[in-house]
Amino acid sequence: MKIIFKPLNKLPNIKRKNYEYVSLYKTGTRHRFTVGDVAKDLRREVGGAGLSPSIQEWDFCTLAMAVAAADEAVPRAKSADGWTRQIEIEVALRHPAIWKPYLESLEETFRFLTGDFWKISVTTGGLEPPKPRKRLDYSGSCVSLLSGGLDSLVGAIDLCDDGEKPIFLSKIVNGDSDKQTEIVKELKAEKRHLQWSFNSRSTLAGDDQTRGRSIIFLAYAILASSSITAKNGQRKRIIVPENGFISLNVPLSPGRIGSHSTKTTHPVYLDGLENVLNALKINIEFIRPYQFRTKGEMLIACKDQELLKKLMGNTTSCGRFGRTKTHCGRCVPCLVRRSAFLARNVQDPTVKSRNTGKSYEFPDLGLALLDKKSSDIRAAASSIMLVERKGIERFIGSSLAFCKSEEREKYKCVVERGLEEIKQLLIEHKALWSIFTVIWICIRIRLRSRKRRPEKINLRLLWRPVLVHGSAPLEYLKILRI
């Protein structure tokens, strides 16, 4: 199947078999047959912001919208292995010829991002960039991504404290827009804040693992950078404030390489995009100021601790936050968030949700293990024990094969320190004890069913976390009837 992305007036009147059609930048509800649409409000938003992006910048944005929409639309369940898809798209650009030599590089970059095989072709017929009635001067020194998360808050505070005048770029997500506005208001940067939405409607079944979503954020940042004039041939800076542990996102177990290990700000992905864009004279540089820091270290080193203390509780980290407007408390981003507060030696200030009245759906990580969906906690615990027994190199494996030799030690150390922060959180919740209790009980049940003697199991290995980290919570023991 092939997905065609074109302006509404360029779409055919007759639908071809095995083709899907998506209208670019305009709703497709009035077409002769059912089509999807993507970014129907973006031209109005960019023009309203007084920006005048170049044709290359606008064409890249169009490509990014198509990739993000296809990633959301094509279901993974129908693929051969239930995960890896073969996605073929055709995108109408204003100047497609200059992109053709770089499509293979983009396909490899998007393959790294989403884990799929991409086939991209470009054709004529794309829309011109929006032309504002009046071009606005934001007097910005750089563009900084502002998601409303904890890392982007620290990045915003540090930039302003350094005397920078960043243009803050936010993608509107349900539940986060007010948090983004609150941050820029406290930083007195309301006039340098852009909030743009992303709408995608498809005729396909869809996929809820939106690994390609970061391409939207970066494309918007490039559009925002069009208001900055680079001096002396320098590249325009786009700040990506993400801690190194999450950015690398080393799989916590071999089985988590696909769905659980996203690469939205991974150095390989960002460097791949940057190389193509600079070759096309879109002179930008993705700056990762915290690539060698953990989230806890970011909080500790933040340059305005009073402002951080005031705002950090009303930030979002959870990947499942949009469903209940409550942090789940047990996914990897939540574990990293909670461990960062512990590393900073501050009581978790996460505000309670209006929907549930809770800061976290699963506040007690020891008890959360009883839920069958708490795989992230179990994976984190097993990774920590692997590092203790086999060392950090065994855990990392080939995950750092991309980096230069002089950087490898720094990347390795940030992974090790990030795991150590999570370890202290699990110790605090007695979750390391609990995970191995569950393992021991499962083994006993299995042995009884096979009528084998339990003496043959290495009890010392299983019970070592008990001896090191103390006893389990009383409630947990009652539930397990021990």
Confidence band for 439, pLDDT divided at 50, 70 and 90: low
With beta carbons less than 8 A apart as the criterion, state whether 3 and 88 touch: yes
Residue range 48-76: mean pLDDT, rounded: 95
Tell me what pLDDT residue 476 has.
39
CATH topology of domain 142-202+210-315: Rossmann fold (3.40.50)
Does position 453 have pLDDT exceeding 90, yes or no? Answer: no
Tell me what pLDDT residue 445 has.
52
Residue range 131-143: mean pLDDT, rounded: 92
What would the pLDDT profile of 218-255 be if each residue is shown by its tens digit?
A: 999 999 999 998 887 789 999 999 999 999 999 887 66
For 193, phi then psi, to 5°, come to -120, 125
**DSSP string over 26-93:** S--TTSSS--EEE-TTHHHHHHHTT----HHHHHHHHHHHHHHHHHHHS-STTSTTSS--EEEEEEE-
Confidence band for 325, pLDDT divided at 50, 70 and 90: confident
With beta carbons less than 8 A apart as the criterion, state whether 410 and 245 touch: no
**SS3 call for 290:** coil
Tell me what pLDDT residue 208 has.
66
> Residue 345: left (phi > 0), alpha (psi -120 to 50), or beta?
left
Tell me what pLDDT residue 464 has.
41
Tell me what pLDDT residue 176 has.
78
- Average per-residue pLDDT for the chain: 87
Does position 426 have pLDDT exceeding 50, yes or no? Answer: yes
Position with higher pLDDT, 366 vs 453? 366
Confidence band for 472, pLDDT divided at 50, 70 and 90: very low
Q: Which residues contact 236 (CB under 8 A, 6 or more apart)?
A: 142, 143, 225, 228, 230, 283, 284, 285
Does position 256 have pLDDT exceeding 60, yes or no? Answer: no
Tell me what pLDDT residue 471 has.
40
**Which stretches of 188-287 are assigned E, i.e. beta strand?**
193-196, 200-201, 236-239, 284-287
Place of tokens 């948090």: 179
Domain residue spans in the chain?
A: 2-123, 142-202+210-315, 317-482
